Structure 1
């Protein structure tokens, strides 16, 4: 795969410029040089070997010539045959020296002087010694051979000396060649080491050093491009990679700084939202709540003034609730404004309104904010998910731009304020409902007890007035005890109502409160009451549920005292998985069908059922005329709340 295909932005080297080509060429040159020197030394050794054989054969010429002379002086029967063999061998030796024998090898050095001397020796033998030897064998002339022998030997000696001198020169040349070959090998090794270092080792070290610095995040490192071979391509690719990594790291650093700034901004926003949420959840009145909200928002966004306005029930006007940093004249002028006459109202209709500089508007003099010295304005809704409650504004004395992130945060803060305001309104409504409900219970209690007693007293007073006018003193004496009894009962009813309204129970105080209620009933009515409590594995009831149970018990005992004419009452409490309370009496009882057919229901019974519904409990009443009454309250474990 080429460098371009890897995205390095470099071009691969040409075949002539590649490192492999240089290594191959230098290796071939070194090989050819070494082979040439080896061939040269082999040729010299071959020349020396052939010259050595020539020296031996040339020396044999002297020996054989002297031996023929000695044989000629002998007179035994076999000397002629020996002479003939030596003459034949001498002729062969001269022929070999003249022509050479490459396979042996044997040849004379290629020197004109040596070849000329060889010609003299051959001529002297063929023209002088060989004919003289033939005549001596024929017995005609022995002295001529002996006389010519010494000059031949001298010429042969000179030939041998010349060959030896040439051999000595070639031997010296061989040794010099071997020394040169050793020097060439040494220098070639040094040159190869140097070239390999320059071509391979040094680039690899530079690349390694560059990679080490790159690993240390020094992305500014660059390698010198000193060639166009493979390492040059690698250096160029490394530089391109370093450029890319440096750019990426720089971008990454900028992105990290940007993300860090964003996280810091988000942390500030979350801190503001958390602090604002904690503040808005405090039990404060609406004005204090809005004042604290506005102060915190102005401090966070460096505003010089601000205000919070709410819509009236008609949705046509905005009323100023709180303000900060605004002049008295501006507050007075904008205390109540129509929705379509200001930017605050426009924000409630269309969303956020941001004005960076009033001076760029068509008619800035018509704006009260601009006349008060403000140059910028930002208005946002105070709303919940389904209702717009008003708006809050931030005023700036200098030109001020509100980025999208700040606008989104301010919009979220407006929603938080809207939810807080709605919660305050709902809380006020809940308190009103609670007061109305308590008033209803008070009215029911008064109607069921005091109102009936007062009605009875009213009738007795009318009867007393009629008896006095008619002077029926016996009837007067009968009515007065009834009046006293009615007044006592009404007084007891009032005490019971006051006790009910003042009752407050803590966790685990229900049984003690029940015991106090039973004891008070005994004192007021004189009726015998037995109390049985079985508090086994059940958890204690919450304070609110304990109070409702106690109210039901008090109402049931009050009904016994008023209507049952009972002599004994049995109260049973069982707090296991289910909570149970049973009140039984042996009084007159009543007909449930007859009570159900009445136009006006019994208020006491109705109140008891309402309290049972608050507990999500079941209340059952069982009675029959003359058979007493039983009231049973059951709070299942599935409806019990943790205390």
Structure 2
């Protein structure tokens, strides 16, 4: 709409809302207050009449009791005349009290005479008749006959008083019923009036607005509502009419906007489909060349490019190596200018933080077309994008167009995103190759440790036995020779068994709960191999979580290496092996042999490889290896695996396939 449209201009503050006297809320509040005042007035009147009737009823009761009390005085007077006990004074006083109470009234009961002059005059006559005629006869002790003769006149006056009060109460009762009937009629009429006014003020405007919205939903934008009041609904009607006018104006270009949004949505869907397809392909590509070739083919097909290339950056030498090319002459793909990171527009794309878009026609007009290899081969437009990874710029890819082509920002953003996906995939391939190399190195290291723990030690033992045999043969000691030959045969058999176990254990591992039998077998083999007495104590009463097979295997290797050191170096008479699995896993190997000086061992050039292997295996477990040794006091080796390391070690090995490689158990002759 135009900026000068008066309908669009903001309304003054004074007219933003209807005037106070025209507001719907003002009318509703006024009507409610009027109805409330009328109802309260009627209710107050009925309550006043009820209160009056209640006081008159009490007056009727007390006035009727005057006859009974006057008769009671006559009885007491007769009793006094014959000399019997009586209560004459109390009865006379009670009648006086009743007359005084009727005349005075009691608002608390309530008790009062109706506000009628005739009733009050009759009350005066009743009081005068008692005070002047009957009371003197009762107090003076006159004969009962005189009192009884005067009594009918007093009773008649009291009856007349009661009748007058009853007549006034009956009139007020009729008035109370009439007021209640009027209140009921007023309630009915007021309800109808309120409903009608609410219909006029609220329901009818709401129905008009509802009908207007329904017709507006049916695209009847020419509809206008009548503005018949200056209240809130009048303001709503004016706003509805303004909204209808604006919608009528906006509907004319709505179809164009819908078509534009639909095209944008289709483009977004196409971009998402392209990204999904590209991500799926990059995750399945076997090598970098196939990945780059497939990537380039898909991008060229998506953007109708006539040629393209993917190059990786050698930042140390400032060169770009061709990884894939399509649609380009061989001379252009292998051009020396494109091989240098500073030689052409492709090299600029690896240095700029944004996409480099070059129109080669402008270079041709400037006389520099001969200096651009792409321009010499007939390409008029070039789009180059940087390939990035976490290490920074790793290369670029370019699209070549033979016709003038300018990519919109959305296509540039999509191509830049695709370049980032390609960079991530190439980096993933590089890291995977590095991981495989590390796995090979680690596997070789583990194989070397396995050979040291088994075959090398067995061969070393056989070498010692052969030297002893050579000495025995040189001395012509036939008895010792006969003793050594079976030991050599037994050593060869166990070395052969070591080789078989080594090959078998590279393809197997210990299962959960198999550590104890393996430890017992290792100790038993040690007993067969040397004369050192070996004691084994296993305590598994802690109920802790069992070690994983990989952890069990490493523990077994450490035990085998420790026993091998005892057999080869300790010259011990006794060795004790203790294994406990409580809160922490603990393995202790202690001998009473010659021992060694740790400081001297640390300074020797040929450090003990077996001790280094044990420390390496303990570090792989996440355990602590404590070695206590001194010359002449034996050696104590303690392996402690804290309770919190059990699950962590299992998770580390399940996450890294390299560390889950199983090595053979030690078999020594």
The TM-score bracket by the shorter chain reads 0.5 to 0.7
Distance 1:248 1:223 in 2: 16
Distance 1:274 1:613 in 2: 43
CA contact (8 A) 1:382 1:389 kept: yes
Q: How many angstroms does 1:604 deviate by?
A: 0.8
Are 2:583 and 1:581 aligned? no
Q: In the alignment, which residue of structure 2 is the partner of 1:381?
A: 386
CA contact (8 A) 2:465 2:484 kept: yes
CA contact (8 A) 1:566 1:586 kept: yes
Distance 1:533 1:381, change over 3 A: farther
Distance 1:447 1:316, change over 3 A: same
Q: Larger Cα Rg: Structure 1 or Structure 2?
A: 1
- Over residues 269-294 of structure 1, what are the superposed CA-to-partner deviations in whole Å (9 max), with x where a residue is unaligned? 45544554455455843333333433
Distance 2:519 2:347 in 1: 60
Q: How many angstroms does 1:358 deviate by?
A: 3.8
Distance 1:581 1:453, change over 3 A: closer
Are 2:395 and 1:402 aligned? no
Are 2:555 and 1:549 aligned? yes
Aligned mate of 2:248, from 231, 246, 249? 246
Count of aligned pairs between the two proteins: 444
- RMSD (Å) for aligned C-alpha atoms: 5.4
Q: How many angstroms does 1:620 deviate by?
A: 1.6
Q: How many angstroms does 1:615 deviate by?
A: 2.4
Distance 1:626 1:503, change over 3 A: farther
CA contact (8 A) 1:343 1:353 kept: no
Distance 2:613 2:593 in 1: 21
Q: In the alignment, which residue of structure 1 is the partner of 2:288?
A: 286
Q: Please give the residue correspondences for 1:558-597 in structure 2 after superposition, counting only pairs within 5 Å.
A: 558-565=564-571, 571-575=577-581, 577-584=583-590, 589-597=595-603
Distance 1:597 1:633, change over 3 A: same
Q: Please give the residue correspondences for 1:327-366 in structure 2 after superposition, counting only pairs within 5 Å.
A: 327-333=329-335, 337-355=339-357, 358-362=360-364, 363-364=368-369
Are 2:420 and 1:415 aligned? yes
Q: How many angstroms does 1:264 deviate by?
A: 5.3
Distance 1:233 1:510, change over 3 A: closer
CA contact (8 A) 1:580 1:635 kept: yes
Q: How many angstroms does 1:456 deviate by?
A: 9.8
- Over residues 477-518 of structure 1, what are the superposed CA-to-partner deviations in whole Å (9 max), with x where a residue is unaligned? 999999998998799679758856864587971543663475
Q: Please give the residue correspondences for 1:190-201 in structure 2 after superposition, counting only pairs within 5 Å.
A: none
Distance 2:337 2:535 in 1: 67
Q: In the alignment, which residue of structure 2 is the partner of 1:110?
A: none
CA contact (8 A) 1:9 1:237 kept: no
Distance 1:451 1:294 in 2: 55
Q: In the alignment, which residue of structure 2 is the partner of 1:321?
A: 323
Distance 1:461 1:494, change over 3 A: closer
Q: In the alignment, which residue of structure 2 is the partner of 1:218?
A: 219
Structure 1 stretches of 5 or more lacking a match? Answer: 11-202
Q: In the alignment, which residue of structure 1 is the partner of 2:171?
A: none
| Counterpart secondary structure, 1:322 | strand
Distance 2:306 2:539 in 1: 68
Q: In the alignment, which residue of structure 1 is the partner of 2:658?
A: none
State the TM-score, normalizing by the size of structure 1: 0.53
| Counterpart secondary structure, 1:339 | coil
Distance 1:473 1:356, change over 3 A: closer
CA contact (8 A) 1:505 1:546 kept: no
| Counterpart secondary structure, 1:340 | coil
| Counterpart secondary structure, 2:475 | helix
Distance 1:554 1:414 in 2: 54
Distance 1:208 1:410 in 2: 52
| Counterpart secondary structure, 1:402 | coil
CA contact (8 A) 1:304 1:395 kept: yes
State the TM-score, normalizing by the size of structure 2: 0.52
Structure 2 stretches of 5 or more lacking a match? Answer: 13-203, 652-669
CA contact (8 A) 1:589 1:625 kept: yes
Q: Please give the residue correspondences for 1:88-487 in structure 2 after superposition, counting only pairs within 5 Å.
A: 211-218=212-219, 220-223=221-224, 240-247=242-249, 262=264, 265-266=267-268, 268-274=270-276, 276-277=278-279, 279-281=281-283, 284-312=286-314, 314-333=316-335, 337-355=339-357, 358-362=360-364, 363-364=368-369, 367-370=372-375, 374-440=379-445, 473-474=474-475
Q: In the alignment, which residue of structure 1 is the partner of 2:644?
A: 638
RCO higher in 1 or 2 (8 Å CA, sep ≥ 6)? 2
CA contact (8 A) 2:513 2:546 kept: no
CA contact (8 A) 1:507 1:542 kept: no
Q: How many angstroms does 1:519 deviate by?
A: 2.6
Are 2:653 and 1:619 aligned? no
Distance 1:503 1:567 in 2: 32
